[in-house]
Chains A and B, each alone.
Chain A
Amino acid sequence: MFFFKLPFLNLLRHYGRTSLSLVSIILGVLVIILGRGTITGLRESVIRGEIDGMTGHVSVLPADYPTSGLLHPLDGLYSLPPAAEQWLHANAVAWTRRLFFAPRLVSGIDAIRVRAIAFDPATDADVFPRRDWRVEGRIPETAGDGVLLSRGIARTLSVQPGDMVVLETRTVAGAMNALQMPVAGIVSTGNPAIDSIILFLPLSAGEDLLRTDGAISHVSLLLGRRTDADAAAQQLQELLGEAVQTTTWEKEAAPGLEAQDLRQRFLDILVVALLVMAAAGIANTVLMAAYERIREVGTLRAMGLTRRGVAGLFMAEGFVMGLIGSLIGAMLGAWLTFKYSIEGIDMTALVEEMGSGEMFQDIPFSSMLYFGFSGRTILLAIAVGMIVATISSLYPAMIAARKEPADAVRS
């Protein structure tokens, strides 16, 4: 009865004060869970943006291909040897070819440089899902259908589906070539790397424009599990030789993930600050309790409670506060992260706003943020909350225990 009931009852004695201390613990635990959930979610969103929008699980591209900017040289284009195709049929869940180039896009008197992706209409969607796409107009299927512009380009050039645009580029051989095409549709993907400056067109139209004779720049594939990417990349590399290089989603997502590491560190600092505040709050609550109850504690000691028993009594109060606060915080946190791990938070508006700048052009990103729900994080947060609460009541508990019983009952 004694050591379980008494701390509870004593905490209820100052309901308001206890609640205030609880709030700080609840907040600390909640921030741990939500923060970690968000960051796991953001990481996953960066990874999914990379896989779904740019790289698949593994991509093959020409050796020494530039990794940033609008540089898409045509001198390394290649065709897949039959052995590689066989390997892909046998090992990839889905695979597709793409041809990247950087044409000038002309509309009336306006012209901008864009990143063009010529895709295989038959297989592209198998590797690069379009479930988050919002298309105004339609997606071109054949060379005659025209081009699909990203929202960013359409906005810059003020074009609409049905308008005519001209693509100017050099062919593989180096001659100038231009093609007038209709705008089939305008797409928002929620992925700033795509929505800013990308233009899609059917592979046949691209081959026509560049005179590639079937050569392509990229092969992208999906595997059964994304963790198999490294092994698959290595096998493909061996099969294809030095003329090409392979890359994986993991390598490509790394720069985007670094930004999340920074966020993680920032969050950790925030959590520590919140926990310090929570600890101070609890220490203060227990200290006040200790001073208020000097005589009561003296009486218990006169009745035979040891110093250690007194300390235990007050630490139990901290522990109970930690337990209740952590459980409430964890329940709130678990509920919110679970909810948003299923529903997701639509960040399209935010991403589009940021995507109009240069900043996100090279960071694929998915506009739906799904929180990462992790039982381990929740348990960790509960443990941290309880430990912090118990430890912060150590000092006041020692103060209460130090008081001599003879002095305590006199007061």
Chain B
Amino acid sequence: MKICEVESVCKIYGRGAAEVRALDDVSLVFEPGEFTVISGPSGSGKTTLLNMVGCLDTPTSGRVVLEGKDVSTLGERALAHVRAKRIGFIFQSFNLVPVLSALENVETALHLARFSGNRRKTAAEMLDAVGLRDQMRRRPTQLSGGQQQRIAVARALVKHPGLVIADEPTANLDSKTGTQILDVMRQMNESFGVTFLFSTHDPRVMERARRIVSLHDGRIAEDRTREKPSAAGEVALTSDASNESNA
């Protein structure tokens, strides 16, 4: 089964003269375990596409089928349910709840997913897996940007979703930290088989992707799958110095 099928999706914002066609007849299929980048210039519709796939928004026309289920016609509560159970989000500016500790932030995802096991223990294990064993009790404001994004990764993955949506996850991080975060995500992708869908302008993210979908003005300009992506640990094709830390 495909993890997600986008069928002739259009998304139109505004009306009349102010009408913006953010997505224009986009069709895509994502397989389980993909590590795919959506690229394109600013305003090309990357966020809009991710929101459709992530069930944050519904298309004006066309269908989005998630794990075999048409989600484009679902109501607010049903969509919330799908997001809670099956989709993890990682945002550009981390978006952690500032009054909660790292551990509680991750637990919140389990709470909303109605996870029935030991939430505290499960959350702690996931924080351990992203390398935050010693910072679990701290609040986000007491942590660096990279550490905060690790919490966000743990929060997105702790409920074992089918799909993780990451909208420019490295844009607010320096290149070294961004690389580390990418490695963490790549590891998760490999060890849990979770599908990752990114939007990014960051060449390092693109290097790690097997598939790159380029958008332009709401249309697919290119959909390219490489034979051998430069995974973590491999020497990058570009001359970005920060990649050396992965060697």
Contact = CB atoms under 8 A, between A and B. Distances in A.
Interface of A: 1-2, 5-6, 9-10, 12-13, 295-296, 298-309, 404-406, 409-410
Interface residues of B, number: 29
A308 B76 CA distance: 10
A299 B99 contact: no
Contacts of B99: 6, 9-10, 12-13
Contact of B80 (A9, A13, A306, A409): A306
A405 B107 CA distance: 20
Given A299-B95, A409-B95, A304 B113 contact: yes
15 contacts: A1-B104, A1-B107, A1-B111, A2-B108, A5-B100, A6-B99, A9-B100, A10-B99, A296-B97, A303-B84, A303-B112, A304-B85, A304-B113, A305-B84, A404-B57
Contacts of B111: 1-2
- Residue among B81, B91, B113 with the highest chain A CB neighbour number at 10 A: B91
Contacts of A299: 89, 91, 95-97
Given A302-B54, A304-B113, A306-B76, 11 more contacts: A13-B99, A295-B93, A299-B89, A300-B97, A303-B109, A303-B112, A304-B81, A304-B112, A305-B84, A305-B112, A405-B57
B51 interface: yes
B80 A305 contact: yes
B47 interface: yes
A409 to B, nearest CB: 6
A406 B51 contact: yes
A302 B97 contact: no
Nearest to A401: B76
A305 B56 CA distance: 11
Contacts of B155: 303
Q: Which of B95, B107, B155 has the most C-beta atoms of chain A within 10 angstroms of its own C-beta?
A: B95
B77 interface: yes
A303 to B, nearest CB: 5
B83 interface: yes
A13 B95 CA distance: 17
Interface string B18-40: 00000000000000000000000
Most buried by A among B56, B107, B113: B56
Nearest to A310: B80
Nearest to B96: A299
A304 B84 contact: yes
Nearest to A410: B47
Given A304-B81, A304-B84, A406-B57, A6 B95 contact: no
B165 to A, nearest CB: 9
B161 to A, nearest CB: 10
B112 A295 contact: no
Nearest to B156: A303
B108 A303 contact: yes
Interface of A is mostly: helix
A6 B112 contact: no
Contacts of A410: 47
Given A1-B111, A405-B56, A406-B56, A304 B97 contact: no
Contacts of A405: 56-57
Contacts of A10: 99
Contact of A300 (B57, B91, B108): B108
Task: Please list the 6 inter-chain residue pairs (A to B) with the smallest Cβ-Cβ separation, ordered nearest first.
Answer: A304-B84, A9-B99, A299-B95, A406-B57, A304-B112, A406-B56
Contacts of B77: 306-308
Contacts of B104: 1, 5
A304 B158 CA distance: 14
Contacts of A1: 104, 107, 111
Contacts of B108: 2, 300, 303
A409 B155 CA distance: 16
Contact of A409 (B91, B96, B97, B113): B91
Given A299-B95, A302-B89, A303-B89, A6 B56 contact: no
A349 B57 CA distance: 73
Nearest to B47: A410
Contacts of A306: 76-77, 80
A307 B76 contact: yes
Nearest to A301: B80
Contacts of A409: 56, 89, 91, 95
A406 B113 CA distance: 19
A1 B51 CA distance: 29
Contacts of B100: 5-6, 9
A339 B119 CA distance: 49
Contacts of A6: 97, 99-100
Contact of A302 (B47, B56, B81, B96): B56
A10 B97 CA distance: 10
A404 to B, nearest CB: 7
Most buried by B among A295, A298, A301, A309: A301
Contacts of B95: 295-296, 298-299, 409
Contacts of A298: 95
